[in-house]
Amino acid sequence: MARGPNSFGGGKALVSALSPGSTIGILGGGQLGRMLAIAAAQLGYRCHIFSPEEDSVAAEVAAEFTCASYESINEVSAFAAQCEVITYEFENVPVEPLKRIADKILLRPGTRVLEIAQDRIAEKKFVGEHGGKTARFAEVPQEIRLSEAVSQVGIPAILKTNRMGYDGKGQLRINNENDLGNAWRRTGGQPLIAESLVEFDAEFSVLLVRSANGEVRYWESPKNTHDNGILSWSSLPAGPLIESQQAEARRLATSIAETLGYVGVFTCEFFATAAGPIFNEMAPRVHNSGHWTIEGSVTSQFENHIRAICGLPLGDTALTAERMEMENIIGDARERGMNALSEQDCHLHLYGKQESREGRKMGHSTRLYRESHG
């Protein structure tokens, strides 16, 4: 295995595809890591999960598991020494420990995209530099700047924690000036970003995979429906409006991926508006809105991510049905998910989580509708 520098955060250069039996390190122990590990096993690879949580659903299907803090450079270094390549199922991984091992292990994708995706302000500025349109935004570094920032973007507005928010967490809608009274405390008393409220007709995502040699393939963009900030449905076909804006959104996502030398599956979320696609956020990993690809595409997002980071040829992303719907099973909805098994061409994925609670993703189901089935 040749070694060499990589300005995007990878230090161990692949001269050929990783052979079966090699170990893939996955930072994060949730359901995305679980599905990545399953896809990797089908291709003959071993997975080593690294997560600070002892109760890891990804570890249940992996060959090795390290339970330790992401901040521990000694533990991260020991983990890296047992892997041929490292990837992520969770983008809010501390970057500094990874930079310390970047000259010893191949990181795919690299650390630069993590730095951008972890900082909403940096993310929006970066996207603007690539010609992307975003909501109006203003920085709120401290509480005293809150009123000024909201006045810049206008009311109604959305306040979001600048770092660490996901699935609607750390967000607060401002409908009038009275809502500003305890907004800083309600969002955790930390730096925020204020965003103007975007008037949109639909939400969609661009899912692409980029190989180590720069080949890019796309899945069809699904229409996404959220409930309390959590994705509840993704469906295809997405409809004429989204389909008309897909090409522009793909160009932006591809430009970002190519600038960063990105390898793996990359997701960008958009609002479809009368003025064209408005960028919302990026995810440097496989994504909930791509779960339908397991049955709904010739090659799933999970398999193509493994193919890309291991230096294998990318798989076909064509659809396997004329219409499909992916439903998230959230909270105590597992019984409804089990009932879906009686439906024709419905596929159930439960993530092995024992405790259900409000807002927790317990699984998903995908329904395929083919012409031959009516």
> What are 178-206's pLDDT values in tens digits?
888 888 888 888 999 999 999 999 999 99
Whichever domain contains 163, its CATH number is 3.30.1490.20
| pLDDT the model gives residue 167 | 55
| pLDDT the model gives residue 182 | 86
Residues 54 and 159 placed together within one structural domain of the fold: no
The CA-atom distances, in angstroms, between 17 and each of 14, 20, 213, 313, 373 are: 7, 9, 12, 9, 40
Q: Which residues pair with 86 in a beta bridge?
A: 25, 107
Is there a contact between 308 and 212 (Cβ–Cβ < 8 Å)? Answer: yes
Which of 87, 107, 127 terminates a domain? The answer is 107
Task: Say whether pLDDT at 366 is over 80.
Answer: yes
| pLDDT the model gives residue 169 | 66
> What are 205-263's pLDDT values in tens digits?
999 999 999 999 999 999 999 998 899 999 999 999 999 999 999 999 999 999 999 99
| pLDDT the model gives residue 229 | 85
Task: Say whether pLDDT at 13 is over 70.
Answer: no
Residues 247 and 192 placed together within one structural domain of the fold: no
Residues 261 and 187 placed together within one structural domain of the fold: no
Whichever domain contains 248, its CATH number is 3.30.470.20
CA angle 355–69–308, rounded 5-degree value: 85
- Nearest Cα neighbor of 294 from 193, 365, 361 is 365
Residues 276 and 335 placed together within one structural domain of the fold: yes
Give the containing element (helix H, strand E) for 270: strand 264-273
Residues 163 and 309 placed together within one structural domain of the fold: no
